[in-house]
Amino acid sequence: MVRKVDPIDAERVMRAAGCIPLTPYPGSSIPWPCIHEPCGQAIAPSYGTVRSRGRACRQCGSMAGGAKRRAGLAAAAEAAMRAAGFEPLEPYPGGKKPWRCIHLRCGQERTPTLDAVRAHRTACRECSLKAAGRTVWSAESAVAAFRENGLQPLEPWPGSSSKPWRARHIECGRVVRPRLGNVAAGQGPCRECGQEAAHAALRMDHEEAAVLFRSAGLEPLVPFPGVDRPWRSRHDQCGAEVAPTYTNVKRGQGGCINCGAKAGAERLRMPEEDARAVMLRHELVPVEPYPGSARPWKSRHSCGRVVTPTLSNVASGKGICRYCHSAFPFDGPAILYLVVDRDAVKIGCANRSGKRLAEHTRFGWQIAWTIDTPTGDDAYNLEQGILEWWRDELGLPPAYPAELLPQYGYTETARWDDMHPLYVLAKVESLAEAFGLPLLRLRPGLHFDARPEIAVSGLGARARAKRRPMDQPTLIDL
């Protein structure tokens, strides 16, 4: 039969082991919350464990065991330290823990570990460095070394010659972080200044570099900046100021972009003999030298008229002769017209018997005036003169964007507020006199000088008539 433990006796055993119970006795094998008086920690040993082992705190037990083991090793540890030249100043703390000692050779206090001393026979860093012939730095000598090399420290010495040390390079003013060991070894205090010095040492002089540029037809205007930097020069062939790099010129790329492009175009240009053969196949006889495939080439068509198509258009079967291959009568009677709406005026030219004006009125344009011209050439030249006046001289933009104009021709418009129909008529008369045209026949329209009340619309006349005026959409509303 198991004897029941008296709670009073159990508490007496716990207190004898240095434990202060925090709760009533729970049972012999159940953890009993307590405070261990020697260390003050909260623990929970069982009554049975404390009674059988005589101790309650695992940490205190471990420390006591360690101290007992160290006491047994202390004599051998002290002997090892003295053999290495160290005199201990405190009891042996363990093989891996710092041990305050005096190094007898230099008289300085050090904190080596027993394991380090046994492994290396010494643990005094300064004495080891001196024995190896290396410099032992102090804060004062480190600052002096930095200043001798043109560095002003910006923070205390970090304590090691292998750690970055923030300082200012006095010569260039840059903030740098060199290592004292590197500076003392002669590596230089500032990386950027070192690189610049290296580049300067390797850089060829001006006259040597200029020899290559002059051989390529380039005359330098400024001192040589370096092989990969633009070098302002004048191209002898065209007189333009250019800025190629020495490296590119050395590779044979040339120094002038414009002249290079012209030379490339010349290499790719079709021979004039082949170009003339293309024109002759389309019944065109050139009357001037070949200017290039995209430029107008003055030629005489089989009809006898002189035209200026481009070779590229002729080769594709377009624009051969506007007199023979156009619905517009360039060599027959034509008209120049001006149509208007509430917001804009529109210049144009058309066949006298054509339907162009009818198409305009169908979408809401109103006729301001028309002028009979002897030929379509005259009408076309007057129209282009008005457009050049609007765009180049006056800088007027089109009144409508392309997507809002019902039937093309947005580039031929100007805003009514900027260009009254009578202003346009006066300019046409001035141009006709400059072109040497005979007296023009003017036909005024209903809106010769009156502004319409509605704007053009994408709807036809019948569709507009079915809608109320207030609901009729305008181009500005679309």
What confidence tens digit (pLDDT) does each residue in 306-343 have?
888 888 888 888 878 888 877 788 888 999 999 999 99
Residue 209, both tokens: 């570099």
Nearest-angstrom CA–CA distance, 20 and 27: 16
What pLDDT does 473 receive? 46
Which of the given ranges, 60-69, 163-172, 324-333, has the highest pLDDT on average? 163-172
What pLDDT does 356 receive? 86
Q: Tell how far CA 143 is from the center of its chain.
A: 42
Which of the given ranges, 42-56, 114-128, 259-273, has the highest pLDDT on average? 42-56
What pLDDT does 468 receive? 46
What confidence tens digit (pLDDT) does each residue in 359-388 have?
888 888 999 999 999 998 899 999 999 999
**Residues 414/442, Cβ–Cβ less than 8 Å:** no
From the list 7, 41, 42, 37, the residue with the least C-alpha distance to 25 is 7
DSSP bridge pairs for 35: 20, 42
What confidence tens digit (pLDDT) does each residue in 282-296 have?
888 999 998 888 889
Domain ranges, ordered by start, for the chain: 7-56, 62-131, 139-198, 207-264, 281-315, 334-471
Is it the case that residue 471 has pLDDT exceeding 50? no
Please compute the mean of the pLDDT values over residues 61-79 and round it to a whole number: 76
What pLDDT does 463 receive? 54
CA atoms within 13 A on the CB side of 272: 8
**What is the H or E stretch that residue 444 is in?**
strand 441-444
pLDDT band with cut points at 50, 70 and 90 for residue 458: low
Is it the case that residue 102 has pLDDT exceeding 50? yes
What pLDDT does 382 receive? 93
What pLDDT does 475 receive? 40
What confidence tens digit (pLDDT) does each residue in 223-262 have?
988 888 899 999 988 889 999 998 898 888 878 888 888 8
Q: Which residues contact 346 (CB under 8 A, 6 or more apart)?
A: 338, 339, 340, 360, 365, 399, 409, 412, 413
What pLDDT does 187 receive? 85
What's the predicted TM-score (pTM) here?
A: 0.44
Nearest-angstrom CA–CA distance, 420 and 342: 12
What pLDDT does 329 receive? 85
Please compute the mean of the pLDDT values over residues 36-63 and round it to a whole number: 84
**Angle at alpha carbon of residue 324, lines to 318 and 326, rounded to 5°:** 60
What pLDDT does 1 receive? 44
What confidence tens digit (pLDDT) does each residue in 388-446 have?
999 999 999 999 887 777 567 788 999 999 999 999 999 999 999 998 888 778 999 88
What pLDDT does 303 receive? 87
CA atoms within 13 A on the CB side of 218: 30
Which residue would you say has higher pLDDT here, 469 or 122? Answer: 122
pLDDT band with cut points at 50, 70 and 90 for residue 474: very low
CA distances for 235 relative to 226, 230, 239, 294, 452, angstroms = 19, 14, 5, 27, 60
**Residues 311/278, Cβ–Cβ less than 8 Å:** yes
What pLDDT does 435 receive? 87
What pLDDT does 344 receive? 93
Is it the case that residue 351 has pLDDT exceeding 80? yes
What pLDDT does 167 receive? 93
Is it the case that residue 467 has pLDDT exceeding 60? no
Query: Could you tell me whether strands 175-176 and 167-169 are parallel, antiparallel, or unpaired per DSSP bridges?
Result: antiparallel
**Residues 424/347, Cβ–Cβ less than 8 Å:** yes
Provide the b/e sequence for 403-431 (b: ≥16 CB within 10 Å).
eebbeebbebbbebeebebeebbebbbeb
What pLDDT does 416 receive? 92
- What is the pLDDT of the chain when averaged over all its residues? 84
